Amino acid sequence: MDEKLRITLLEQGKRAKKASRLLATASTTVKNRALHAMADALMESKDEIIAANAVDLEQGRAAGLTSALLERLTLDEKRVTDMAQGLREIAALPDPVGEVVGMTRRPNGLEVGRVRTPIGVIGIIYESRPNVTADAAGLCLKSGNAILLRGGEEALNSNRAIARVIARAACRQGIPEGAIELVDSEDREAAVFMMKMHDYLDVLIPRGGKGLKEAVTKNATVPVIMTGMGNCHVYVDEYADIEKALAIVFNAKVQRPSVCNAAETLLVHSKIAPAFLPLMLPKLQQAGVEIRACERSRGIVPGLKAAVEEDWSEEYLDLILAVKLVDDVEEAIEHINTYGTGHSEAIVSQNYSHVRRFMNAVDAAAVYANASTRFTDGNVFGFGAEMGISTQKLHARGPMGLPELTTIKFIVYGDGQVRE
């Protein structure tokens, strides 16, 4: 990596560390005022942001980005407005910092409690979606954390514009300089260097695909909260309401295929498949979905592309769907727990026992009964924006809102006690 870039990253880390100590004790009033100022600044600068995004889109098309990636990359007036609204919603949420989550009195008179406190400096490495720049900065600010942002090279111009606007607005409201830092470089080694900045980053949150996950696993010395990868399934049980199943599967795959909570595999019970697949698959194909099906599925609906082993573990993020028949709910559960990424899984069934078994046995951050996987989202769940959707099990799991961006410290009140 270029020595100048290395020095710049270290300087950003130092600024963020210093800012985090000041931000940790900032009042809720100051933080909320800054969030509203950031939202106002986004709206005032929307033309500048959209113009920067247009450059990224032009470069993305020239580089051959898929339509799904271009869709994730695109900013228009509505999406900028949504970013601003997201910041206002974060301001309206309760401040988690200082919340006492338990207090007990010991026999010796000591009062032992736990209180929420900021993590410190959070690093985030993310791809494509420039709205993450505003969402992540807003959530970190409200939870008292400084943030070091490293977006994908495909969104660099958009991220520059957004970060510049919101950081300036926050500083004008008393937020310390360095609280919102953007890694302004296309060099991929910058991301690898961030993974090793354990002297400055308290946690690293990667949001991206398989390649990013592998890079983080290989290189990170900073503690990591893994997010984002979504090989999500919908299982249509033999006791499914077919009309509900048609709507749920279509929504889960087609409504926005480029996001991590979109369905990638459809599992169908063999008893309902002859009635369901001839209705479902043509509907999906009419919407542009490529079907990759198991042998038994192709026996019911001829002319489908054959699925291969790799399809069961693929996160397409595109209008592609793998289809497989299973013979009972246990086989569906086993398939999901084998190939899923622990993100979002759904069952469509009117059978109470099957639903209960699926909900209890499937290992994922979010499990649905008779609803689309597309609902796994911090805003939909009432958290405002989200930092990401954690697919691991320690510290945080599922959509990460404000409480998940804090840690706990013990507070102990005494009156002269000493240990004997």
Please check whether residues 239 and 92 belong to one and the same domain: no
What CATH number corresponds to the domain at position 323?
3.40.309.10
Range of the domain at 332: 232-375
The pLDDT of residue 15: 97
- Euclidean distance between CA atoms 355 and 72, whole angstroms: 33
How far is it, in rounded angstroms, from Cα 381 to Cα 251?
18
Residue 392 domain-assigned? no
Q: Give the SS3 label for residue 67.
A: helix
In this structure, are 181 and 279 located in the same domain?
Answer: no
Place of tokens 């339509």: 67
Q: Is 407 within the bounds of a domain?
A: no
pLDDT for 210: 76
Where residue 41 sits, what CATH number does that domain have? 3.40.605.10
- Look at residues 180, 201, 228 and tell me which one is the last residue of a structural domain: 228
In a domain, 409, yes or no: no
Amino acid symbol at 304: L
| Domain co-membership, 209 together with 221 | yes
Q: Are residues 358 and 239 in the same domain?
A: yes
The tokens for 399 are 């959509």
Look at residue 256 and tell me if it is in a domain: yes
Q: Quick one: which of 232, 198, 193 has its CA closest to 215?
A: 193
Name 315's bridge partners. none
Q: What is the pLDDT along the chain (420 residues), one digit of tens a residue?
A: 789 999 999 999 999 999 999 999 999 999 999 999 999 999 999 999 999 999 999 999 999 998 878 988 999 999 999 999 999 999 999 999 999 999 999 999 999 999 999 999 999 999 878 999 999 999 999 999 999 999 999 999 999 999 999 999 999 999 999 999 999 998 989 999 999 999 999 999 998 777 888 898 899 999 999 887 889 999 999 999 999 999 999 999 999 998 899 999 999 999 999 999 999 999 999 999 999 999 999 999 999 999 999 999 999 989 999 999 999 999 999 999 999 999 999 999 999 999 999 999 999 999 999 999 999 988 888 876 778 888 888 888 888 899 999 999 999 999 999 998
320 and 289 in contact (C-beta within 8 Å)? yes
Sequence-ordered list of residues with C-beta below 8 angstroms from that of 396, at least 6 positions apart, any chain:
225, 390, 404
* Same domain, yes or no: 206 and 251: no
CA dist 114 and 406 (Å) reads 12
Is residue 217 included in any domain, yes or no?
Answer: yes
* Pair 136, 149: CB distance under 8 Å: yes
Task: Confirm whether 395 is domain-assigned.
Answer: no
Please tell me the total count of domains within the chain: 2
Q: Is 288 contained in some domain?
A: yes
Distance CA 317, CA 98 (A): 39
How high is the pLDDT of residue 214?
A: 85
Domain assignment of residue 408, yes or no? no
